[in-house]
Structure 1
Amino acid sequence: MTGAPLTRLSEVPLTRLSDVPLTHSLSPEGRGMRDAATAGAGGAAPSPLGGEGRGEGAQAAEVRTTCPYCGVGCGVLARRTAQGVEVRGDPEHPANFGRLCSKGSALGETVGMADRLLAPRVAGREVDWDSALDLVAGKFRAAIAEHGPDAVAFYVSGQLLTEDYYVANKLMKGFIGSANIDTNSRLCMASSVAGHRRAFGTDTVPGLYEDLEQADLVVLVGSNLAWCHPVIYQRLVAAKAARPGLKVVVVDPRRTATCDIADLHLALAPGADAVLFNLLLAHLADAGRLDVEFLKNVNGFEAALAVAREARAAEAGLAAGDLAAFLALWAGTEKVVTVYSQGINQSSSGSDKVNAITNCHLATGRIGRPGMGPFSVTGQPNAMGGREVGGLANMLACHLEIENDGHRAAMQGFWGAPVMAAKPGLKAVDMFRAVEAGQIKALWIIHTNPAVSMPDADRVAQAIAGCAFVVVSDITDRTDTARLAHVLLPATGWGEKDGTVTNSERRISRQRPFRAAPGAARADWWHLAQVAQRMGFAGFDWAGPAAIFAEYAALSGVAGDLGSDFDISDHAAIGVEGYDALQPFLWPANARQRGGRFFGDGRFHTPDGKARMLPVVPRAPQALSAAHPFRLNTGRIRDQWHTMTRTGLSPRLGQHLAEPFLELHPADAGRLGLAAADLAEVTSPQGRAVLRVLVTDRVAEGHPFAPMHWTGETAPTGRVDALVAGITDPVSGQPESKAAAVAIAPFAAVWHGFAIADSAFRPDCDYWAVAPVEGGMRAEMAGLVAPQDWLAHARALFGLGPEVEALVYRDTARGRFRVAFVEGGRLRAALFVAPEPVAVARSWLVGQIGVEGGAELLAGQPGADRPDPGAIVCSCFGVGVNTIAAAVASGQCLSVAAIGAALKAGTNCGSCRPELARLVTFHLPAVKAAAE
């Protein structure tokens, strides 16, 4: 079909939320993103504790397990059904009490067989396990024999269960004899580890989640809790609703979703966190708010205060009134919890920022008692477990110290190890530089994607590609890192894994299997133990994870006798039955102490038993330049996880934000000639990215933000960590991921496209980003050169032959093309092309895949009788922004409660309620004006 269009693109107003390439919703700023986190309530508790429901039958019992995403450690109830997997929150788990966020609620959509690695591969060819394991063991053994133990390395992950971590650490440090084992948790919480060890003598989180509910003041520093730890955020929201006197302060240069509940938002200058807390320490002293008795248990107060007095208020970049209000509120409130996350940790001075925070709590004795203390929240499901088990290159298991001769000897004796690492190994950034330099001859990467997630990601990818021997253990071969491996080992994933994890409040919970491992996939601990045995090492012949956990618990008893705080020796005699029934518990768990808080009694784990305050001299992030004048902040979005290996499989999660983007202040956008939905080219000395522009004043001028989830599989030019320099904290080794120096310019695309299809496809153009949808896939595209024949290009893109009917609209003079491929009367695929960002109703079009239709599809908009619901705001009930906006405009839904009554939005988990409130606020003036 050719001829006049049903609706010209130039006539389609950009007013619908799904009309622009980046699915987003309007906010009071005019163009904003959805900020709410989604949670789901659980129902009645099941009877099975675990170990049931692994069969592949149509209906199985619910299995009590733990979510594999962030460090909140939510309990999950999972059940296999004839349709797949059902999940709900575990109402009895003390971390979440039945709530789940959007990612947790969608777990059942991510456990399919799509892209699963089902057999070992060597050089791209499937082999049996014996061949693969013999090769790995032989290559590692040969590298060690020729070049020494430091010529090999493991790079592991907070996705590992504690039992996996334990085996990896034991093998590398106690039998290979090197400490070259580090983890992607180095990118997440290493600065907290360093700060804790300097202040407390050990890496200990003093408090519990319930402290956030018992506090009178919660300060959130560098933590977008609403998106990154949504269930804790919901607990805080509920506590504030029940007790309105509870105050919340958010300290963040960016106005995030978390600010919805803030009584005060401090948009401090990027990197100025230590300045702020130095100012606070000096104010506490001047206001007479020090705890003189508690300070008898603290060393270093005078030196820390002397340096703190040198801080200047102007360096914080805050309005004088806001700064004064914060200082007075913190000083005058006894029960204060200071929560911090990646905005503190991911810094070249992250350890100092942690100590600036702990200084204030130590000086006032506000630590380790109900409702008070510094609180580090971790970003990964078992980042804490990795810290406990020695998964970091500079630590031993059970919080023992690698530099301590007695600790090393005790661990070597317990393991019966032939050798023992005598010094810290290479931290993540240094490890990959050693790979690049050829010093690492054999590298084993387990459940992580450093070719995307490491800073200077292009350089890291090149280093891995140049390594003599690379092994990757993962659930899929579809990652940027897996493509570089010589050997791929198929691992078990969530739902198949069997072991334990530790959440941010030191609570150990079980992850239990509820489905059989597919193909030849095996547990990570088994991979490691088999290689260890083939290298000739004894002590790696466990029957299962229960035996590993028991050994670990017994080792912790040895550590406890040496004075370690991590001691779970209550469980040293655990058997398979007890392990299967293990309930969530807080460590420590031993004859001396069980659970609870630390340090409230003024006793610490330093040699003299006293805490240490450190003088903190604030350091600014790397300097900007005329060539790179913007400071790029990176982070996460609500509905995606790390590099989307799991969440990228869920169509529901892909509805929120379907492509990589750049949040840009209006003044910056104006100077650069960029408008909302344009594409921007972002460059740094390290690399390049192309990102969709989102114009918003939630970011400060000169300080754009971009998320880090997209990969070579989902958006090759959206790999944001390619822009980040490998600058690290000199104490913790954690990279500075929040302050990359970049340049921004318009991406000079001559065409833009939007495509949908009923099967997966991979675009071939200068910019593209794909996302799953129900029944198929969607893609945003753009190019610097247009194809000569758009119809032929579309057929090749979708893999459709001439037998599939093509309904076509062309406007060659204006550079516009549209085609819908219909077979058997049903839509198979469609492509929409224009010289500017394509304006079509994306949510509606996605819903037409596989549906009967014809020429009306070329309009790209539904008819008047079929309204477009727009981008989903309420994930629980699938309510779109256009539906909500229409309800508000009608005058019948002028409050969040009214929207809930009419549409159900916000009535289940409640995490979309802040966004509903903003939509009401945005549309209310027009409604009132119309009424007048």
Structure 2
Amino acid sequence: MNAPLSSPQATSTTCPYCGVGCGVKATPDGLGGALIEGDAAHPANLGRLCSKGAALGETIGLETRLLHPMMREGAGDLRRVTWDSALDRVAEGFRRVLAEHGPQAVAFYLSGQLLTEDYYAANKLAKGFLGTANVDTNSRLCMASSVAGHKRAFGSDTVPGSYEDLEQADLIVLTGSNTAWCHPVLFRRMVAARQARGTKLVVIDPRRTATAEEADLFLPLAHGTDAALFSGLLVHLTDTGALDETFIAQHTEGFAETLSAARAETPDLAATARITGLAEADVARFFALFRATDRVVTCYSQGVNQSRRGTDKVNAILNCHLATGRIGREGMGPFSLTGQPNAMGGREVGGLANQLAAHMGFSPAEVDRVRRFWGAPHMAQAEGLKAVDMFAAMERGEIKALWVMGTNPAVSLPRADAARRAMAGLDLFVLSENVLGTDTAGCAPHVLLPAVAWGEKDGTVTNSERRISRQRPFLAPAGEAKPDWWVLAQVARRLGHGEAFDWRGPADIFREHAALSAFENNGTRDFDLSGLADLTDAAYETLAPVQWPVRTASDGPHGTERLFGTGGFFTASRRARFVTPAPVAPAPVAEDFPLLLNTGRIRDQWHTMTRTGLSPRLGSHISAPFVTVHPDDARAAGLTDGALAQVETAHGRAVLEVRLDDGQRPGTVFAPIHWSATNSSGGRVGALVHPLTDPVSGQPDLKATPARLAPVDAPARGVLLARSRVSPPPGLGFARARLEGGHGWRLAGSVDVAAWAAYAQALADDLGLADSFCDMADTAGGHYRAAAFTASGALAFALVLAPEAEVPAWDVWVQRLARGTLTEDDRRLVLSGRASDGAAACGPLVCACFGVPRGAIAQAIREGAHDAAAIGARLKAGTNCGSCLPELKALLVDMLAPA
């Protein structure tokens, strides 16, 4: 059991999911879990949590934890070892590779899940003491183009605004961001502003998402044309006299050149509409709204960043805000919505291969400054390899040693199969993880190190609005798990650098981090924590959320709310730079691959599901990997709704369930990123993605891989439910979900009733359930059902298989598993799929926050709850994070529409 640190009391900490950085109150329950509530005092969320945050208490058990250091020799299996043995092996491995191949053969791949103190320790060790700048992070996959765009325009990686601007804006433009699903707490703040002050909402996205359902204006632009839309807007603002000439003259440079290039590509509204594939009237309406509204916030996220021209898209947005002076003042400005809880904290300490700590780069003066501060004997002199290039260098054998911390690149990287092979061929592969059995852990690491997990971690994170918050522990470390900073310091000591890493705890690291931010700064760098460099341990422990920069006590207890409202940029001239985007390039489709594959997140899952996959609630909304297809494209490929499709690219293939959607732009398909080989047989979408990257930021293009669809011959479909985790029948593809009471598998494959019967009988025998085993087979019809029960009468497992046209109702069987002890009548009827009381299936979960299924909502509508507010009053659905509201409203429309 993962025990509480002391008697149960609420601990103020920070959510480990997206970059909103919500405050959480966690109270251990004494059973290894915790009661989770939103922290009403935290300025990021004011007490609200999304479905993932609300379910955190279901994800902190020990079932999947890595609890002890492990090591392998040669091709042998991993075996448990002591910390000293594991650390000695890591240090000796790095020492050997450095001696034989030099620092360029060493790499670190980090994560936005790390705390700032962990990130700082890794960068200091690698860049200052091992001499390698091959230190990159999974944040390269999500926010690197924003970083590059900020630096080109502002001279620094600065998000100028605050969340309060979302509530003070009169127009919010959301581009490349399904905010309703990916940042739902912020989206509810936007919707509340619309209700309170009439804020207009414009959504720009090729896909009609849940966010678009709430929009006053939805612009389904053609792939890759975002920069052209905002260049057209810049021309329009100029031609209609909407520029802030004073701001441009006093605080910017390069406007004339950028405007000239914009005129060449998008000379007028008609040209903009033609390039973007939008209706001219819709473009005109957007331009008029932006022109006439002073308080405008433009939020952008992965749909902008994850592109071959992501940095240009960011700069096209920034150009429009700089040209109108709408930046750094209440209710206005560009706003990058960060994907991970500490992506920004990682950027602060140099977590990217083209950065040094404290927002410094690799100019000779900055390299020398960091070297002197650290007393670094082997300072890296030039930028290292970014993530995609780093793993390509591993494939070529140029990188020999890799340390991966807190991420799962075997699932998430482009060309993920190639990344697997590259990691398996290293001379030294070290993996720091808190989960045992990830896809990356299956790539033959030499050393596996158990890291503390959320609930045990102690340090800081920085959210999308530059707000530093504490993650505090409320559980003791599980097993022999250790903080990542401690592990790094121990390796540094073994390599002879112990004095520079002689930290007693995270407060020591934070003080050093803050001191470096202030070192020879004098207002020349945006990132400055001078006012926090002398925090006592007690002050660090009680540190309240604060926005950087915090230069002196005069910045106040909350730091700096906004920047750049009166200029003061961090370029050499102290003026912001207008940047000219490259012209729009044609979509990269080919004759063999006529579609574009767009990848992204879904509402209730996170990254590769190592945490959210433990929650039955979160797995009940969408239980299997899918691909969203426009009906016209499905028809052309011979696919129907619910069928299985092979999605293939030049780099890999996946088998996914088809979901037809008129809101999917024709010629494109969408598939979520979350499924791995650990929880599916064919759902790894990262293996399909091409390795093309933005030439400025190095961020991979995860939104437009040329692809094709084909039907999958799977005449049998079914479900397997079990209280314990078992292996599904051989030859049947599967997707696994955690359920209340156990586990569930969605199955598909060929018909072999005899093999199914043999499997089910063997499973019952293995589990000691032969006496309660029952089954029924229809060999001619391709049907098979089997079940067995525990001694108390609960369903131990059930296997239900049928022809594809008669797919068993998943939720009916899920209910059987969740019910616990079944009556004798129910046990007799279990193979029929019916209940003795005639209870009907409740359908998939719609509201994960309160566990409300589709059937209960439909019943409420039939009984008179004819709007979302009435449904919320009766069932609470939609009253927390609100991310299910679009689905609620769609159900209302379907059920209340005239026959």
Q: Distance in 2 between matches of 1:766 and 1:684?
A: 23
1:813 match: secondary structure: coil
Match of 2:627 among 631, 651, 662: 662
Per-residue Cα deviation, 1:440-485 (whole angstroms, up to 9, x for no partner): 1110000000011000111111111111110000001211111221
Alignment of 1:226-265 (within 5 A): 226-244=180-198, 246-265=199-218
Report if the CA contact (8 A) 1:89-1:96 is conserved. Answer: yes
Alignment of 1:164-183 (within 5 A): 164-183=118-137
The residue that corresponds to 1:99 in the other structure is 48
2:259 match: secondary structure: helix
TM-score normalized by the length of structure 1: 0.91
RMSD, matched Cα: 1.6
Q: Distance in 1 between matches of 2:236 and 2:763?
A: 63
Alignment of 1:830-841 (within 5 A): 830-836=798-804, 838-841=806-809
Report if the CA contact (8 A) 1:765-1:781 is conserved. Answer: no
Q: Distance in 2 between matches of 1:659 and 1:627?
A: 27
Per-residue Cα deviation, 1:428-447 (whole angstroms, up to 9, x for no partner): 00000111111111100000
Alignment of 1:2-13 (within 5 A): none
Match of 2:856 among 873, 883, 886: 883
C-alpha deviation, 1:339, in angstroms:
0.1
2:511 match: secondary structure: helix
Matched, 1:865 2:846: no
2:597 match: secondary structure: strand
Report if the CA contact (8 A) 2:717-2:807 is conserved. Answer: no
Report if the CA contact (8 A) 2:133-2:382 is conserved. Answer: yes
Deviates more, 1:421-430 or 1:792-801: 792-801
Q: Distance in 1 between matches of 2:866 and 2:234?
A: 45
The residue that corresponds to 2:27 in the other structure is 79
Matched, 1:471 2:424: no
Q: Distance in 1 between matches of 2:873 and 2:115?
A: 43
2:804 match: secondary structure: coil
2:397 match: secondary structure: coil
The residue that corresponds to 1:341 in the other structure is 301
C-alpha deviation, 1:561, in angstroms:
2.7
Match of 2:227 among 255, 269, 274: 274
Report if the CA contact (8 A) 1:347-1:621 is conserved. Answer: no
Q: Distance in 2 between matches of 1:613 and 1:540?
A: 42
The residue that corresponds to 2:695 in the other structure is 730
Match of 1:192 among 128, 131, 146: 146
Matched, 1:460 2:409: no
Q: Distance in 2 between matches of 1:698 and 1:863?
A: 41
The residue that corresponds to 2:776 in the other structure is 809
The residue that corresponds to 2:749 in the other structure is 783
Deviates more, 1:503-512 or 1:535-544: 535-544
Q: Distance in 2 between matches of 1:668 and 1:232?
A: 34
Q: Compared with structure 1, are the counterparts of its residues 909 and 749 closer, same or farther at alpha carbon in structure 2 (3 Å cutoff)? A: closer
Deviates more, 1:508-517 or 1:308-317: 308-317
Match of 1:411 among 347, 351, 370: 370
TM-score normalized by the length of structure 2: 0.95
Q: Distance in 2 between matches of 1:152 and 1:67?
A: 32
C-alpha deviation, 1:559, in angstroms:
5.1
Match of 1:219 among 165, 170, 173: 173
The residue that corresponds to 1:602 in the other structure is 567
Matched, 1:774 2:774: no
Alignment of 1:44-443 (within 5 A): 55=4, 59-83=7-31, 84-123=33-72, 124-244=78-198, 246-296=199-249, 297-309=251-263, 310-311=265-266, 312-313=271-272, 314-402=274-362, 404-443=363-402
The residue that corresponds to 2:75 in the other structure is none
Q: Distance in 1 between matches of 2:351 and 2:621?
A: 34
Q: Distance in 2 between matches of 1:342 and 1:902?
A: 36
The residue that corresponds to 1:614 in the other structure is 579
C-alpha deviation, 1:907, in angstroms:
4.0
1:717 match: secondary structure: coil
Report if the CA contact (8 A) 1:710-1:716 is conserved. Answer: no
- The residue identity in structure 2 corresponding to 1:189 is M
1:496 match: secondary structure: coil
Match of 1:917 among 876, 889, 895: 889
Q: Distance in 2 between matches of 1:546 and 1:762?
A: 46
C-alpha deviation, 1:720, in angstroms:
0.3
Report if the CA contact (8 A) 2:224-2:587 is conserved. Answer: no
Report if the CA contact (8 A) 2:184-2:882 is conserved. Answer: no
Match of 1:906 among 862, 873, 878: 878
C-alpha deviation, 1:900, in angstroms:
3.0
1:681 match: secondary structure: strand
- The residue identity in structure 2 corresponding to 1:233 is F
Q: Distance in 1 between matches of 2:342 and 2:354?
A: 18
- The residue identity in structure 2 corresponding to 1:719 is R
- The residue identity in structure 2 corresponding to 1:425 is G
Report if the CA contact (8 A) 2:769-2:789 is conserved. Answer: no
Alignment of 1:334-733 (within 5 A): 334-402=294-362, 404-484=363-443, 485-537=445-497, 538-558=499-519, 560-561=521-522, 563-591=524-552, 594-620=559-585, 623-733=588-698
- The residue identity in structure 2 corresponding to 1:262 is A
2:624 match: secondary structure: coil
Matched, 1:851 2:801: no
- The residue identity in structure 2 corresponding to 1:768 is F
Greater RCO (CA < 8 Å, at least 6 residues apart): 1
Q: Compared with structure 1, are the counterparts of its residues 55 and 755 closer, same or farther at alpha carbon in structure 2 (3 Å cutoff)? A: closer
- The residue identity in structure 2 corresponding to 1:268 is L
1:919 match: secondary structure: helix
Gaps of 5+ in 2: 73-77
Q: Distance in 2 between matches of 1:266 and 1:804?
A: 61
C-alpha deviation, 1:370, in angstroms:
0.7
C-alpha deviation, 1:863, in angstroms:
5.3
Q: Distance in 2 between matches of 1:158 and 1:292?
A: 40
Per-residue Cα deviation, 1:88-108 (whole angstroms, up to 9, x for no partner): 000000000000000000000
Q: Distance in 2 between matches of 1:878 and 1:480?
A: 30
Report if the CA contact (8 A) 2:603-2:883 is conserved. Answer: no
The residue that corresponds to 1:20 in the other structure is none
Per-residue Cα deviation, 1:386-415 (whole angstroms, up to 9, x for no partner): 11110000011111111x222111111111
Q: Distance in 1 between matches of 2:874 and 2:536?
A: 53
Q: Distance in 2 between matches of 1:905 and 1:343?
A: 29
Q: What percent of counterpart residues are identical?
A: 55
Report if the CA contact (8 A) 2:184-2:881 is conserved. Answer: no
Q: Distance in 2 between matches of 1:166 and 1:565?
A: 18
Q: Distance in 2 between matches of 1:897 and 1:603?
A: 46
Report if the CA contact (8 A) 1:840-1:861 is conserved. Answer: no
Report if the CA contact (8 A) 1:754-1:838 is conserved. Answer: no
1:398 match: secondary structure: coil
Q: Compared with structure 1, are the counterparts of its residues 559 and 703 closer, same or farther at alpha carbon in structure 2 (3 Å cutoff)? A: farther
